[in-house]
Amino acid sequence: MVRYIQSIGRKPEELSHILLTHSHPDHTGGVNHVAKMTHAELIAHGDETRLRRGNRLRLGDIGVSGVLPGIVPILGRSPVVTPVQDGDVLPIGDGVRVVHTPGHTNGSVCFLDESTKTLFSGDTIFSDSKRISRSVAFPGYDAAAYRASLERLAGIDFLAVCGGHGSPLLEGGADVLADLLATRPDLPTWSHFIKSMPRRLRRSLPLTGEDP
């Protein structure tokens, strides 16, 4: 990340915010280190945090706040974060709106860049260049909440999707999601996911999200 910032002729210290869509380690690993190198403020939904050391809110572990008894020491993290909630607009560019989308984890959020209608969706929805797909269950998952969040997202005006895994979908975001929900109402399951693996590997299909 730091090398990328330098490659576009900017300084790491200029990074003002790091937006965390949720606390799973594949989305937060190393964030302490990057925050120190940049002095950026870390942003996450309050439901992904724990109160630690005085009044400072720290990121919960692997998205299961309230499930695990304490911080998992092996992860060596739990940075201090600024909590946000649904509807907050962050002062980044022309405004980045927080959309709380519980389901993948309780405190999962999407960040909507309002001027470009670009949605940074974490693991709530995955993108590849042509399609949107949904997550299977991980620690912290709530199927009913997830279903409701997907329905709500499909009614929000967004065009591009930068999913937590896969390459961005550049156009038609909300319509593509609404179409997915209408044609495949059942949420993806681990059993389908595992059964689809050989075919995915044979055909070099994406390994994240539901079966294409």
CB closer to Zn ion, 58 vs 134: 134
Rounded to the nearest 5°, which phi and psi values hold at 112?
A: -110, 115
Strand order in the sheet with 109-113: 89-90, 96-100, 109-113, 118-122, 160-163
- Check: CB of residue 92 under 8 Å from CB of residue 16: yes
CA distance 117 to 110: 12
CA distance 148 to 207: 25
Of 202, 194, 197, 21, nearest in space to 109 by CA: 21
CA distance 104 to 117: 22
Sequence-distant (6+) residues with CB within 8 A of 198 are: none
CB closer to Zn ion, 11 vs 142: 142
* Phi-psi domain of 58 (left: phi exceeds 0; alpha: psi -120 through 50; beta: other): beta
CB closer to Zn ion, 61 vs 123: 123
CB closer to Zn ion, 29 vs 212: 29
Residue 164: CB minimum distance to Zn ion, A: 5
Task: State the angle between helix axes of 143-154 and 173-183 in degrees (0 to 180), rounded to the nearest 10.
Answer: 130
State the residues that interact with Zn ion by CB under 5 A: 24, 26, 123, 164
Residue 73: CB minimum distance to Zn ion, A: 21
Residue 43: CB minimum distance to Zn ion, A: 17
CB closer to Zn ion, 109 vs 112: 109
CB closer to Zn ion, 38 vs 135: 135
